[in-house]
Structure 1
Amino acid sequence: MKSRLLIALLFLSTLCFAQIGKRFPSERKVVKDPVTGTMLTFLTSTPAGDSKIYQTHTQWTAGGEWLIFRSGRARNEALAVNEKTGDIVQVTEGGYTGMLCVARKSMKLYFMQSASTDSAQRRRGGGALRIIETDLQKVFDDSKKGAMKTASAYQRVCGTIPATIDAGGDMALDADEGFVYFRVGKIEAAKHLQPGTKIESNFGPRNMGAGPAGLMSMNIKTGEIKYIVSVPFQIGHVQTNPFVSGEIIFCWETGGKSPQRTWYVKADGSGLRPLYPEAPYEWVTHEAVITKDEVAIAIMGHRKVQGVDSTGTDVGGANPGQDAAWGPSGTREKPTGLGIVNLRTREMVIAGQTPSGSGLWHVNGSADGRWAVGDDFSRSIYLIDRHTHEMIMLSTGHKATATDHPHPTFNADGTKIEIQSAMLSADGRSMNICIIPVPDEWLKRTYK
């Protein structure tokens, strides 16, 4: 009898824990970076397995009061933290898969969720998926009042993607917030390839990158789905231009160097092209749309030159852990650094480069075109003034042992940067949500 009661209590506590609108106490802390002196605001500060949304996507809600993030506090659910108060609120129920898409114009959140009612099937993944819209403002208002309703009062099913399409978790919200775009599997993609298209095989030591793959859209008001385009390689990092409707950026995903990393296509399937045509010696990665006309990319310079130079002098091998199977890419024999590609003119400029070490890895920029930011393999954060090309280390000490990289992302007005950090972690791995301000003296700068 006691065991049954215990099981029942555990079941009820799990239901309570998983409920949308559940509140968690503030963990907000302001910490001075011991090296740079920058004041860091940690919005979470306990080892609960936090992680930010990927830097290709919006982090702050419309109005800039809340940030959406992932955490072990509510397993497989999304949470929001108020930047001023530190209040933490669960904003999904029923789980999600793949990317969380925060709207910039409305207080809405979009995500994929398994359509299966079978719990084992949901854990295994696959099957039909539905697109869910969460009304964040209703969640925040009712959670604050302690008057939460059932999840259906806040979550709306936009439409369902059939299992045969084998949709992936890479999803992005269009700038007009009327459509989402998502990746589809090989079988569906093969149906839409042009006859005679050469299917790419895996590339590099991680045995990833083989195609085909494709993109589809869903009208989030009607649920209608449409096919966009197929490509002969594996698709990853699907994102949109959040300022111009109908523009999609994606990558050839290999887990490392790609033969041609970055790609552009319009939502109607036209205009498919490489975003930045790269050479075999260039290691291009972690593209992110930063302004209405620009995409930031990292051109890596993290490996020692391999083999011999033009005079026949031995210049050593790859860095430890850098597999030679990636080819001759990633060295500093050619220009490297934080590159910015113009979508209209197709010109590329190098905004900045670290003087030594691995090179910048994840990159981002402010929507007003003033700043660029990147992290490196030491988990240090570098800020670049795009007008003067001055670069400073903004923050460091986020621990190279952390479970992931910082993935810096600017807020809408370009005054602050969100990262994920293990600075406060006792085990050196668990990460928290952290806000880094752009220095006041930089914000006050004027330019001719």
Structure 2
Amino acid sequence: MRNRTDLSRNSLALISLLIFARCVRAQVEPPREWIDPDTGHRVIRLSEEPGSQSLYFHQNAYTPDGRKLIISTPTGIAAVDLQTRAVEKIVEGRVRIIMVGRKTGSVYYMRGNVVYATDPRTRATREVAKLPPRASVSTVNADETLLAGAITEGAFDARPGANGPAAAPQDNYPGKGEMMERRLAARIPMQLFTIDTRTGEMRTLLRSTDWLNHIQFSPTDPTLLMFCHEGPWHKVDRIWTIRTDGTGLKKIHERTMKMEIAGHEFFSADGKWIWYDLQTPRSLVFWVAGYNIETGERVWYNLQRSEWSVHYNISPDGKLFAGDGGGPNSVAAPGNGQWIYLFRPVAVPDRTEGALPEAGLISPGLFQAERLVNLSKHDYRLEPNVTFTPDGRWVVFRSNMHGPTHVYMVEVQKSGGQARRAN
């Protein structure tokens, strides 16, 4: 009798524990879908595994057919079907994603000092290149014939008490500004290089003691590479392009005042424009500036401080922009600016009637902003990094607004009905 009683008690305790665990999970797990009550836009959680992240804002994350989004997870790389929302693991193990190839759709990534490419449909994987010590690859060109990256020839110790603060998993961590000052002052020799994906041939394009970073190929021109001089933005001429034969080194933005900053540059989807965050001066007057690579035309769109974003992006058709807002410790703490934004560019009417045809003047405009997602509960030490889906209907971002980091997308068009909530 006593054994039966003990068994009953144990069974009851186990059942209670399972019910409790299920309730806790229901409370902690972020909703699958909802209408943001502050904006009226539909938001969908795409990732299943806590700690999943979308790619950096200028890394191509979409397959050429526009159907799949590639994300990183704590256990590897996954593909999200944007139509069915099914998530499929395609690479196991901790790796660093480079980007999705624009021609084949292969996912390029690094494991140790080796670059691999995996077909997201078949999972067939091939080794692309072995890298020398201190080398890293950041981008793949439009026809997937070249990789590009940088070699750091000297050492930089980021530990506390050395050259700067310890590395942190967040994008914007305490002490990052001091680390960037020290790293810039170190003037460590670097190389900008390409690797032929067919032959493995490595070519040095540029040697410099500037801090070379933010390396990205044009999405359409296989021979055009953009990179930056990293560091505190008010101390560097940041945005540069170079051809893959080592010619044509060009500074994209000329500073006109002290404390002017420009950065977080990216290409338009058609490869014709370079866009970037511009502040004249820092934290006071805000623009998203554009430079036409072929004609040299410049367009600047003004926006309010509360609308400033850590990163911007442009829709595939070039008609809309998006921004990921900013937190209290961002470069320009925007006050009530913790939102995912949609921006509609509006040009200032030109009434010069052709009187200044050769002046090379900037074409001004402004952004009309619309809030898409309330990120008041998001910790901006993790930057959301917005991108448009290939059909232009959604903006993808990463967020910890519900606790663990997940990948979300918000619909560009305001919802006309109620979203189904799912846990």
TM-score exceeds 0.5: yes
**What does residue 308 of structure 1 align with?**
none
User: 1:45 Cα deviation (Å)?
Assistant: 5.7
CA distance in 1, matches of 2:154, 2:83: 47
1:346 aligns with 2:325: no
SS at match of 1:222: coil
1:70 aligns with 2:68: no
User: 1:234 Cα deviation (Å)?
Assistant: 0.7
User: 1:187 Cα deviation (Å)?
Assistant: 5.6
CA distance in 2, matches of 1:219, 1:251: 22
**What does residue 207 of structure 2 align with?**
230
1:435 aligns with 2:385: no
1:379 aligns with 2:378: no
Please tell me whether the aligned partners of residues 399 and 407 of structure 2 are also in contact (alpha carbons under 8 angstroms). Answer: yes
Match of 1:29 among 21, 24, 32: 32
CA distance in 1, matches of 2:293, 2:63: 26
Please tell me whether the aligned partners of residues 398 and 421 of structure 1 are also in contact (alpha carbons under 8 angstroms). Answer: no
SS at match of 1:86: coil
User: 1:260 Cα deviation (Å)?
Assistant: 1.0
Please tell me whether the aligned partners of residues 55 and 61 of structure 2 are also in contact (alpha carbons under 8 angstroms). Answer: yes
- Opposite residue 121 of structure 2, the aligned amino acid is Q
- Opposite residue 331 of structure 1, the aligned amino acid is S
**What does residue 361 of structure 2 align with?**
none
**For this pair of structures, how many residues does the alignment match?**
332
1:417 aligns with 2:395: yes
- Opposite residue 40 of structure 1, the aligned amino acid is V
Q: Deviations for 1:156-213, whole angstroms, at most 9, x for unmatched residues?
A: 11121222xx202x5101011111111111369xxxxxxxxxxxxxx97331223432
Please tell me whether the aligned partners of residues 81 and 87 of structure 1 are also in contact (alpha carbons under 8 angstroms). Answer: yes
Please tell me whether the aligned partners of residues 267 and 273 of structure 2 are also in contact (alpha carbons under 8 angstroms). Answer: yes
User: 1:415 Cα deviation (Å)?
Assistant: 2.6
Q: Deviations for 1:121-142, whole angstroms, at most 9, x for unmatched residues?
A: xxxxxxxx22211121103xxx
Please tell me whether the aligned partners of residues 337 and 360 of structure 1 are also in contact (alpha carbons under 8 angstroms). Answer: no
SS at match of 1:238: strand
Please tell me whether the aligned partners of residues 66 and 391 of structure 2 are also in contact (alpha carbons under 8 angstroms). Answer: no
CA distance in 2, matches of 1:257, 1:94: 39
**What does residue 19 of structure 1 align with?**
none
Map 1:250-329 onto structure 2 (within 5 A): 250-254=227-231, 257-279=234-256, 280-290=258-268, 291-300=270-279, 329=281
**What does residue 368 of structure 2 align with?**
390
Please tell me whether the aligned partners of residues 188 and 211 of structure 2 are also in contact (alpha carbons under 8 angstroms). Answer: yes
SS at match of 1:392: strand
CA distance in 1, matches of 2:32, 2:278: 35
Distance 1:258 1:34, change over 3 A: farther
CA distance in 1, matches of 2:215, 2:120: 23
Please tell me whether the aligned partners of residues 81 and 88 of structure 1 are also in contact (alpha carbons under 8 angstroms). Answer: yes
- Opposite residue 200 of structure 2, the aligned amino acid is G
Please tell me whether the aligned partners of residues 116 and 125 of structure 2 are also in contact (alpha carbons under 8 angstroms). Answer: yes
CA distance in 1, matches of 2:178, 2:30: 41
SS at match of 1:208: helix
User: 1:232 Cα deviation (Å)?
Assistant: 2.7
**What does residue 160 of structure 1 align with?**
130
SS at match of 2:117: strand
Which is further off, 216-225 or 388-397? 388-397
Distance 1:108 1:36, change over 3 A: same
Match of 2:183 among 188, 208, 215: 208
CA distance in 1, matches of 2:226, 2:36: 35
CA distance in 2, matches of 1:415, 1:96: 30
Please tell me whether the aligned partners of residues 284 and 297 of structure 1 are also in contact (alpha carbons under 8 angstroms). Answer: yes
Please tell me whether the aligned partners of residues 28 and 86 of structure 1 are also in contact (alpha carbons under 8 angstroms). Answer: no
Moved over 6 A (4+): none
User: 1:403 Cα deviation (Å)?
Assistant: 4.2
Please tell me whether the aligned partners of residues 371 and 385 of structure 1 are also in contact (alpha carbons under 8 angstroms). Answer: yes
**What does residue 84 of structure 1 align with?**
83
Which 5+ residue runs of structure 2 have no aligned equivalent? 1-28, 156-175, 327-336, 348-366, 416-423
User: 1:85 Cα deviation (Å)?
Assistant: 2.6
User: 1:230 Cα deviation (Å)?
Assistant: 1.9
Q: Structure 2 length normalisation: TM-score?
A: 0.72
SS at match of 2:222: coil
CA distance in 2, matches of 1:157, 1:399: 41
Please tell me whether the aligned partners of residues 377 and 402 of structure 2 are also in contact (alpha carbons under 8 angstroms). Answer: no
User: 1:236 Cα deviation (Å)?
Assistant: 1.2
Please tell me whether the aligned partners of residues 80 and 87 of structure 2 are also in contact (alpha carbons under 8 angstroms). Answer: yes
1:239 aligns with 2:216: yes
CA distance in 2, matches of 1:362, 1:185: 26
Please tell me whether the aligned partners of residues 41 and 412 of structure 2 are also in contact (alpha carbons under 8 angstroms). Answer: no
CA distance in 2, matches of 1:383, 1:422: 20
| Relative contact order, higher structure (CA 8 A, sep 6+) | 2
Distance 1:66 1:232, change over 3 A: same
Question: Larger Cα Rg: Structure 1 or Structure 2?
Answer: 2
SS at match of 1:357: helix
